[in-house]
Chains A and B, each alone.
Chain A
Amino acid sequence: MPDTGSFWIRARQVCAAVGIAAGAAAGIGWARDPGEFGFSYLLAFMFFLSLGLGALFLVMLHHLVDAGWSVPIRRVLEHLAMLAPALALLFVPIAIVAPQVYPWLAMADHPDAALESKRWFLNPAFFYARALAYFAIWSVLAWRLRAWSLRQDRSGAAECTRRMRRWSAAGMFLFAITVTLAAIDWMQSLQHHWSSTIYGVLFFAGSVWATLAWIFLAAAILRLIGPLREVVHARQFHDIGVLLLAFTLFYAYIHFSQYFLIWTAHIPEETFWYAQRGAGGWRGIGLWIVFGHFLAPFLLLLRIDAKQSMALMLPLCGWALLMHYLELAYHIMPVLRPDGFRITGLDMACLLAIDGALGAIFALFMSRHPAYPIRDPRLQEALAGAGTPPVSAPETAAEDA
């Protein structure tokens, strides 16, 4: 493996510097207007949280289906998931400004029948306790999965694979419950009169989509600068691309289901959520999501060889991350800025502050551990026939189960 130690030290310093500078700017914003800061920060936080959760899901899925091809990119995903404890710390500002962001937290004795009936769930003590539980669960899962993976780097033992599978089996249940409730707690409850049974799945689908775009970019960059040069090949890029296409469709399907059922039933207690997002500048954002989040990536990814064309995929993945941010903004920001979408300096400061902090930790992880699971039993399979890109029909490339 090429020596990239100095690169990671440099990356850590740059990230830390950016994080501190942007954090200071965000701090000024917080002092000036805690409410606005809360929304900007929540949006940035949810963006990075969704990447971490998507990574945790992909790692667990890898173990549960006994995948082979994704071994070379798994360590990077393990590191990304392992940002959960850091995200727990970064949640502290949200916990502090929550009463300015979530109206129901501030409405202690407000006469609101709709709220009274859901007080059993939406009450401050339970809200904070749940947040604590989510981060504990995510952190332990990410930690154990990565710890067994790192142990396998030394021993190569099958026992480690079995342990990771067991953690994933239990983890998948906990993941489904916690992600759903977290999406309800931190995003849906911004407008506590509104609810949708599919909301957790919607957040999940978008998160995994964005994570796939991220891992494509990360794999391409890490291949270019060295750490993954020997292990990530055309087949990995192809398969990430296929999953990206699948989740492009899955996300569109889930969001269509929600929108369409609310549109067609036309009950005011549900439609107000979309009515608000169909007014002013948000209408345009909705169209951007239809075309930019679904239609354009879908059409571009359709061709079988598109997934290996770096000239197409790198801009597309960057675009996907942008669209994911816009999509989260569509969920969160209309409460603060009902007249339309706007990117402010504070939004950028929050984004860069969290990015810098997490980037520094990620660089630290990357410098400390092998960049891929070097003795994973399925690594051989992932590398088999790596020089040749997959042929058109999957059946003829059927080697990996």
Chain B
Amino acid sequence: MAALRSQPLVAPDPPAELARPPLILNRRGTAWISGKVSGIAEGRAPRWWWAAFLPSAGLTALCFAMIAYLVSTGIGVWGLDCTVGWAWDITNFVFWIGIGHAGTLISAILFLLRQPWRTSISRAAEAMTLFAVICAAIFPVIHLGRPWDCWWLFPIPNANAIWPQFRSPLTWDVFAISTYFVVSLMFWYVGMIPDLATLRDRARTRARKLVYGLLAMGWTGSIRHWRHYEKACLLLAGLSTPLVLSVHSIVSFDFAASLLPGWHTTIFPPYFVAGAIFSGMAMVLTLLIPIRTLCGLEDVITVLHIDRMGKVLLAAGSMVGYAYAIEWFTARYSGSPHEIFAWENRAFGPYAWAYWTMLACNAISPQLLWLRRVRRSMAAVFLLSIAVNVGMWLERFVIIVTSLHRDFLPSSWSYFRPTLVDIGTLAGSLGLFLTLFLLFIRFLPMIAMAEIKGAAARSGARAHGDPDPPGGLSG
């Protein structure tokens, strides 16, 4: 070790245009950050919040109504038939679980890659992860036909003396999704403890003091505590990174472990993970671009943040594009008539509209993000993020339905059409997601204050050459 410490030499200053931009604009101080972020969860709900919350709550009610109708009537209320046994249910499941990957990407992978800009968006993205996983978890349960027996999936001793059969990827799913939810919840909550303490210390009413006091667990900010706390966060990030890879890989095994052309292909695990990160990042952008304006957070979630997220979107979109290309190539290269047919049926069969829309949304449209002007235009990035959300839903639809609707027996070929219940359940799950998210920004610290203060104090000191002003520019 001693040999590693010699005097470094002096290097030239970077040219002005390559200087690192500050993380927080307008040199906002620490007190401003506490006040601004806590303020969102304090005081009266603004009008836009009610305008967003009421329709979302209405859609949530629709979601539960659709589920009640499905459970009381039977799976036949969906558009499923004999070859297409999975359609919108599993598409929605994979769609939501994919969206649930951005939080962990931002909190864990960017944490390990030491990207301090992630601190502005990590908390909201983690919350989004949890809510997306909740939405996702609904679909495998309600598609069972007998949802009340869903506990059979878990290794719980029962009167029949039978156990789950662990050679099936569907049982791996149960473990992967449950673990993912629990670990994400712990990561999110543990990360929030210092900020909950801030809310506790700012609380004026007895009820708020009590609730935030209980949630903050008696956090004081002791350096002795921070030491264990930081280590635990680092390790949770280290554990979450392989976890996030494994969850969507296991979801991909649902398809890839089968023998079906178009499903059984070795690139599925990393391809699904890239797609998950892609769609999750798009959803983060879809939510945060309006919220940064509505909550007045332009100095915390800056144009630079949107620019960086745009780059992640571009990288993930290109990886997904690579997977589309390699799927086509290997189908041709394999020479297997079934593989070739599966691909041609996707691209030129009855669902060609879905395939080409997917390709345009996922692989082509993100390429616009190479342009700095596009990455820095909020409207453009917002529209692109919507396109990616649509494209990634379609990707799962294409994978699932086109591989099923024309099976090995041409007499049973069919064309899947969704029913109103299918559509209502998807719309309802979106409502549930938004409702949970709106409740989150209303009652919990939606930005990781302690982390961003630390990161801003350090990078601010470096960027401006002076330390953070004591007490901050209280505003």
**Do A400 and B269 touch (CB < 8 A)?**
no
CA distance in complex: A253, B14 (Å):
39
**Do B18 and A158 touch (CB < 8 A)?**
yes
With beta carbons under 8 angstroms apart, the residue of A173, A229, A377 that contacts B18 is: A377
Within 8 A of B (CB), among A347-398: 375-383, 386-387, 389, 392-398
With beta carbons under 8 angstroms apart, the residue of B20, B326, B335 that contacts A401 is: B20
**Do A157 and B114 touch (CB < 8 A)?**
no
Contacts of B245 in A (CB 8 A): 253
**Do B230 and A393 touch (CB < 8 A)?**
yes
Listed stretches B3-11, B89-97, B205-213; interface member: B3-11
Per-residue contact bits, chain A 265-284, to B (CB 8 Å; 1 contact, 0 not) = 10101000000000000000
Query: A396 with B326: in contact, given A161-B18, A261-B253, A387-B5 (CB under 8 Å)?
Result: no
With beta carbons under 8 angstroms apart, the residue of B17, B230, B269 that contacts A392 is: B230
CA distance in complex: A331, B258 (Å):
25
Q: Chain A's nearest CB lies how many Å from the CB of B244? A: 12
Within 8 A of B (CB), among A174-218: 176-177, 180, 184, 195-201
**Do A261 and B268 touch (CB < 8 A)?**
yes
CA distance in complex: A365, B224 (Å):
51
Contacts of A199 in B (CB 8 A): 266
Give A189's nearest chain B residue, CB to CB: B333
Contacts of B18 in A (CB 8 A): 158, 161, 377-378
Chain B contact residues: helix, strand, loop or mixed:
helix
Contacts of B256 in A (CB 8 A): 261, 265
**Do A257 and B249 touch (CB < 8 A)?**
yes
Contacts of B383 in A (CB 8 A): none
CA distance in complex: A120, B334 (Å):
12
CA distance in complex: A210, B81 (Å):
50
**Do A230 and B257 touch (CB < 8 A)?**
no
CA distance in complex: A257, B265 (Å):
10
Within 8 A of B (CB), among A3-19: none
Asked if A222 CB lies within 8 Å of chain B CBs, one says no
Inter-chain residue pair count (beta carbon < 8 A): 173
Contacts of A198 in B (CB 8 A): 266-267, 269-270
**Do A157 and B15 touch (CB < 8 A)?**
yes
CA distance in complex: A228, B49 (Å):
57
Listed stretches B56-64, B429-437, B454-462; interface member: B454-462
**Do A195 and B11 touch (CB < 8 A)?**
no
Contacts of B170 in A (CB 8 A): none
With beta carbons under 8 angstroms apart, the residue of B268, B335, B455 that contacts A114 is: B335
CA distance in complex: A264, B115 (Å):
38
Asked if B318 CB lies within 8 Å of chain A CBs, one says yes
With beta carbons under 8 angstroms apart, the residue of B6, B253, B459 that contacts A399 is: B459
In this complex, the member of A157, A261, A380 whose beta carbon has the largest number of chain B beta carbons within 10 angstroms is: A261
Asked if A254 CB lies within 8 Å of chain B CBs, one says yes
CA distance in complex: A197, B261 (Å):
13
**Do A387 and B267 touch (CB < 8 A)?**
no
**Do B8 and A394 touch (CB < 8 A)?**
no
Contacts of B234 in A (CB 8 A): 392-395
**Do A375 and B9 touch (CB < 8 A)?**
no
**Do B117 and A265 touch (CB < 8 A)?**
no
Contacts of B259 in A (CB 8 A): 265, 267
**Do A387 and B8 touch (CB < 8 A)?**
yes
CA distance in complex: A260, B257 (Å):
8
CA distance in complex: A309, B2 (Å):
11
Q: Chain A's nearest CB lies how many Å from the CB of B471? A: 23
Give B167's nearest chain A residue, CB to CB: A264
Q: Chain A's nearest CB lies how many Å from the CB of B153? A: 19
**Do B264 and A308 touch (CB < 8 A)?**
no
CA distance in complex: A118, B115 (Å):
45
**Do B451 and A201 touch (CB < 8 A)?**
no
**Do B335 and A117 touch (CB < 8 A)?**
yes
Contacts of A173 in B (CB 8 A): 318
Query: A380 with B11: in contact, given A118-B335, A394-B114 (CB under 8 Å)?
Result: yes
**Do B258 and A265 touch (CB < 8 A)?**
yes
In this complex, the member of A113, A158, A198 whose beta carbon has the largest number of chain B beta carbons within 10 angstroms is: A198
Q: Chain A's nearest CB lies how many Å from the CB of B158? A: 27
Contacts of A184 in B (CB 8 A): 333
**Do A400 and B333 touch (CB < 8 A)?**
no
Query: A392 with B231: in contact, given A233-B8, A377-B18 (CB under 8 Å)?
Result: yes
Contacts of B410 in A (CB 8 A): none
Query: A400 with B114: in contact, given A231-B8, A257-B249 (CB under 8 Å)?
Result: yes
Asked if A88 CB lies within 8 Å of chain B CBs, one says no
With beta carbons under 8 angstroms apart, the residue of B8, B14, B115, B327 that contacts A383 is: B8
With beta carbons under 8 angstroms apart, the residue of B242, B333, B370, B454 that contacts A395 is: B454
Contacts of B455 in A (CB 8 A): 395, 398
Contacts of A230 in B (CB 8 A): 6-9
Asked if A258 CB lies within 8 Å of chain B CBs, one says yes
Q: Chain A's nearest CB lies how many Å from the CB of B374? A: 14
CA distance in complex: A113, B336 (Å):
10
Within 8 A of B (CB), among A83-124: 113-118, 120-121
**Do A156 and B335 touch (CB < 8 A)?**
no
**Do B266 and A258 touch (CB < 8 A)?**
yes
With beta carbons under 8 angstroms apart, the residue of A113, A386, A393 that contacts B233 is: A393
**Do B12 and A379 touch (CB < 8 A)?**
yes
Query: A386 with B333: in contact, given A158-B17, A197-B266, A249-B242 (CB under 8 Å)?
Result: no
**Given pairs A180-B326, A197-B327, A261-B266, 20 additional interface contacts (CB within 8 A):** A118-B332, A156-B12, A158-B14, A158-B17, A176-B322, A231-B8, A233-B6, A253-B242, A257-B267, A261-B265, A265-B264, A310-B4, A378-B14, A383-B9, A387-B8, A389-B1, A393-B234, A395-B234, A396-B458, A399-B458
A-B contact pairs, 6 of them (CB 8 A): A233-B6, A267-B259, A309-B1, A380-B11, A394-B114, A397-B114
Chain A to chain B: the 6 pairs with minimum beta-carbon distance, closest first: A117-B335, A377-B14, A197-B267, A379-B11, A380-B11, A198-B266
